[in-house]
Amino acid sequence: MADQAHAAPLPQAARAPRRVNLSWLGVAPFILFTALFLIFPIFYLINGAFRTAEGAFTLENLIALTGPEIWPSYWLSIRLSFASALLGGIFGTLLAWAVHLGGLPGWVKRAFLTFSGVASNFAGVPLAFAFIATLGRLGLVTLILRDVFGINIYGQGFTLFSFWGLAITYLYFQLPLMMLLMMPAMEGLRPEWREAAASLGASGGQFWRMVALPVLAPSALGCFLLLFANAFGTLATVYALTSANFPVVPIVLFQQIRGNVLYNPNLGYALALGMVLIMALSNTLYFLLRNRAERWRK
């Protein structure tokens, strides 16, 4: 023991940790803050998801997620997020293409970019109000369709407070977000590639199928995943639109916190864990695909 202590160069060993510690102090407030209000709450929920009410380890809560009580909300959330992300993804990509490569004047692109910056941040309760005024029972579009075109969409079973009504409402922030996210990829499509393809005898269709789409695909897929997560975490819009009567996962969790709908906080923890896992998975894939897409933008 004594020999070992002598073997180590003591003064150096004592000095090195102190220098490191002092530097660490500079980020200590930030680390402490994120630990207290970001990491610790999440760990608390994750830990709780694996416990019974008495504190014993269990997988029951996670298994209960797939049961008839919870699974329908997850499935609804997944389908709704998928639908709105798919619509947003397709139209956002088309719009990015149209304004950048479609041969439209430059002011059109600038106008859409400016508007999209605002619209992608315009979510929550006011967005719900705007769509009630548009597609609600007395909304402008509903009335015009009825009075001018003789189409009574509510008579045909559409309501704004349903799956597709919500998907269309989400589209208002999903589409501009997708366009903004896809724009760098569109700008990364070099004109030289098109010329090179043309000089090798490729038609326009071949260029898109064999060059442009493979280059754009990782970006598009990654952005789709980001849109999916974006929709999955949306709460305020649904809440304001349907008065909390639409059981997507965030709403179920919201009501659980409000007043123990599930009678079991540990099941609530599992619900939260499931949300975090889905969000983390789609965001991680987004970052991976984004890095892959950036290969072409050097």
Chain residues 158-197 in contact with other proteins, contact rule CB under 8 A: 171-172, 175-176, 180-181, 183-184, 187
204 binding other proteins? (CB under 8 A)? no
Q: What is the closest distance, in whole angstroms, from the C-beta atom of residue 263 to other proteins in the complex?
A: 16
Show the binding pattern over residues 34-73: x = contacts other proteins (CB under 8 A), - = does not. x--xxxxxx-xx--x-------------------------
Helix, coil or strand: residue 57: strand
Helices (H), 189-245: 191-199, 204-207, 213-232, 236-242
Q: In angstroms, how far apart are the furthest CA atoms of the chain?
A: 96
* Phi, psi at 57, each rounded to 5°: -70, 140
207 binding other proteins? (CB under 8 A)? no
140 binding other proteins? (CB under 8 A)? yes
Q: Which is nearer to other proteins, 206 or 260 (CB)?
A: 260
> What is the distance between the alpha carbons of residues 109 and 125, in angstroms, rounded to a whole number?
28
Q: Which is nearer to other proteins, 10 or 297 (CB)?
A: 297
HSE-up of 12 (CA within 13 Å, CB side)? 5
Q: Which is nearer to other proteins, 77 or 197 (CB)?
A: 77
Which residue in 258, 259, 263, 298 binds other proteins (CB under 8 A)?
A: 258
Which residue in 7, 9, 12, 30 binds other proteins (CB under 8 A)?
A: 30
Which residue in 10, 14, 16, 31 binds other proteins (CB under 8 A)?
A: 31
Tokens 């009504």, residue located: 165
Tokens 């007043």, residue located: 259
121 binding other proteins? (CB under 8 A)? yes
Binning the chain into helix, strand and coil, the percentages to the nearest 5 are: 80, 0, 20
112 binding other proteins? (CB under 8 A)? yes
> What is the distance between the alpha carbons of residues 217 and 233, in angstroms, rounded to a whole number?
25
Residues 7-26 that bind other proteins (CB under 8 A): 23-24, 26
> What is the distance between the alpha carbons of residues 81 and 247, in angstroms, rounded to a whole number?
13
* Phi, psi at 51, each rounded to 5°: -120, 155
Q: Which is nearer to other proteins, 9 or 191 (CB)?
A: 191
Binding-site size for other proteins (CB under 8 A) equals 83
Q: Which is nearer to other proteins, 40 or 75 (CB)?
A: 40
Point out which span in 4-12, 110-118, 157-165, 197-205 binds other proteins (CB under 8 A): 110-118
> What is the distance between the alpha carbons of residues 51 and 45, in angstroms, rounded to a whole number?
10
